[in-house]
Amino acid sequence: MNAFDEELTSRLKVVREQGLYRELRRIDSPQGPRIEMDGKSLLNFSSNDYLGLANDPALKEAAAEAVLKFGAGCGASRLICGSLAPHHILEETLAAFKGAEAALSFSSGYAAASGVICALFDSNDVIAVDKLVHASIVDAARLSGAKLRVFGHNNLHDLEKILRWADRRHAAPALSQTDRRPRTLIVTESIFSMDGDQAPLREMVRLKEQFGAWLMVDEAHATGLYGKSRRGLAEECEVDKQIEIQMGTLGKAFGSAGGYICGSRPLIDCLINRARTFIFSTAPVPAAAAAAAAGVRLVESKAGEERRNQLWASVADVSRHIDGQGSAIIPMMIGDEGKAMQITAALLNLGVFIPAVRFPTVARGQARLRLTMTAAHSRADVEKLLASLRSLNLVTKT
């Protein structure tokens, strides 16, 4: 082994010793309630395909049609010659669905977060994020150079203190040359990805208005699932019109891949002009855009409403036996990383896949099994899940 590989191998050894080693699992089937791994059929409780759309015929047909009509690739970035009809249709469909003036799609939610935050904020600004926000937001805030402040999870007191501090900071004469006002951005998820609980969006809107801050809400785990028109938790809380930056992904409830930002026309025009992850990246393939648009249309339809009802029925069934937050994400707290891995392995032996989530996805010593329900799970699937959990003493309610 050469010196380079030797060094990397010793780094990996440290990761392994901490119980944090990660490996890819090869799946030989489409995404769904049952997946094939190592020649074995497993009940899948790990996916964010909440409405069971990833392998839906409507999305697959839309993707196939887009390939036949527009090809496999786009040839360039959106601003050169890669802005194909499927991208425009997707963005019009998304904006209408979200009730927003405009939308812009990105190659991933991760790229959307980085694109919008770095386009609008720099070292003059303050970004206040919830302690549990997704890594894409933390990375984007760091990359922007803004002063990053972290408030306790859903802790409005803490947030208010930061907003007061930012207010004083912004009132002081600027040290650097700038022709614009320094700004404060608050960022939260609406449904938290690893805990499944909700952010107090109404109160956050009240605070941001009181302090003249802006609010960005990542609805990755809420779009398609909450609100009268399934726009997300902001709609359910009736504050969607007051949120400056609405972010989401096309890879979860919408069943495809990509990310998006929704908001005002000036916001979207700023992104087209300034978002580096949008400008300097080849356009997402036509198939992804077309499948995502079909996913949005399906979510909007009566069938989408039925899927959502199915999902909530399954969540209710499971919640009678396991403590959760009422969302499709049901974390089962274990603590120790190694122990969480052992439980995942024991469940795999029983034919059930629930992944262990460990540091750095969650804090050290807060490893958990992240159980997710989808609309595609049947009553029998839920029964098998509960029986397996019971046999490992993991059922928390009797």
Ligand X SMILES: *Cc1c(COP(=O)(O)O)cnc(C)c1O
Nearest 10 degrees: Cα torsion 368, 138, 93, 269: 180
228: annotated active-site residue: no
Residues that bind ligand X (CB under 6 A): 108-110, 134, 136, 189, 193, 218, 220-221, 249, 251, 259
Nearest to 48 by CA among 310, 295, 198, 252: 252
- Using DSSP, state whether 254 is helix, strand or coil: coil
Residue number of the CB atom closest to ligand X: 109
Nearer of residues 170 and 221 to ligand X, judged by Cβ: 221
In whole angstroms, how close is the CB of 387 to ligand X at the nearest point?
29
Q: Is 193 a catalytic residue?
A: yes
Kindly name the residue from 105, 124, 190, 193 that is annotated as catalytic: 193
Active-site position among 87, 208, 221, 377? 221
Residue closer to ligand X by CB (options 48, 93) is 48
Q: Which of 49, 189, 235, 240 is catalytic?
A: 189
Q: How far is the CB of 267 from ligand X (least distance, A)?
A: 18
Identify which of residues 50 and 170 has a Cβ nearer to ligand X in the complex.
50
**Contact yes or no for 93/296 (Cβ under 8 A):** yes
Residue 214: in which H helix or E strand, if any? strand 214-218
Q: State the helix-helix crossing angle for 379-391 and 302-319, rounded to 10 degrees.
A: 20
Least Å from the CB of residue 191 to ligand X: 8
Q: Which is nearer to ligand X, 93 or 114 (CB)?
A: 114
Catalytic option among 87, 147, 252, 377: 252
Nearer to ligand X (CB atom), residue 70 or residue 192: 192
Using CA atoms, how far apart are residues 204 and 211, in angstroms rounded to an integer?
A: 11
Least distance in angstroms from the C-beta of 362 to ligand X:
13
**201-211 and 156-171 helices cross at what angle (nearest 10)?**
20
CB of 92: closest distance to ligand X in angstroms? Answer: 20
Is 377 annotated as catalytic? no
List the one residue out of 376, 333, 325 whose CA is nearest residue 356: 333
The residues, ordered by sequence, that sit 6+ positions from 312 with a Cβ below 8 Å of its Cβ are: none
Q: How far is the CB of 185 from ligand X (least distance, A)?
A: 16
How remote is the C-alpha of 273 from its chain's centroid? 25
The partner residues of 333 in beta bridges, in order of sequence, read 368
Catalytic residue, from 91, 218, 219, 381: name it. Answer: 218
**What is the token pair recorded at 382?**
């839920």
Q: Which is nearer to ligand X, 22 or 168 (CB)?
A: 22
Of 48, 124, 190, 327, catalytic: 48
The strand pair at 102-106 and 40-44 is best described as: unpaired
In angstroms, what is the minimal distance from the CB of 249 to ligand X? 4
**Cis (ω within 30 of 0) for the bond into 360?**
yes
100 backbone φψ class: left, alpha, beta (φ>0; ψ -120 to 50): beta
Among 225, 246, 217, 204, which residue's Cα sits nearest to residue 98?
246
Is 269 assigned a catalytic role? no
Catalytic site residue 221? yes
Active site residue: 91, 108, 130, 134, which one? 134
Give whichever of 189 and 337 is closer to ligand X, judged by the CB atom.
189
Please, what is the Cα angle at 353 between 325 and 316, to 5 degrees?
30
Contact between 260 and 107 (Cβ < 8 Å): no
Pairing mode of beta strands 147-151, 126-130: parallel
Q: Which residues are catalytic?
A: 48, 134, 189, 193, 218, 221, 252
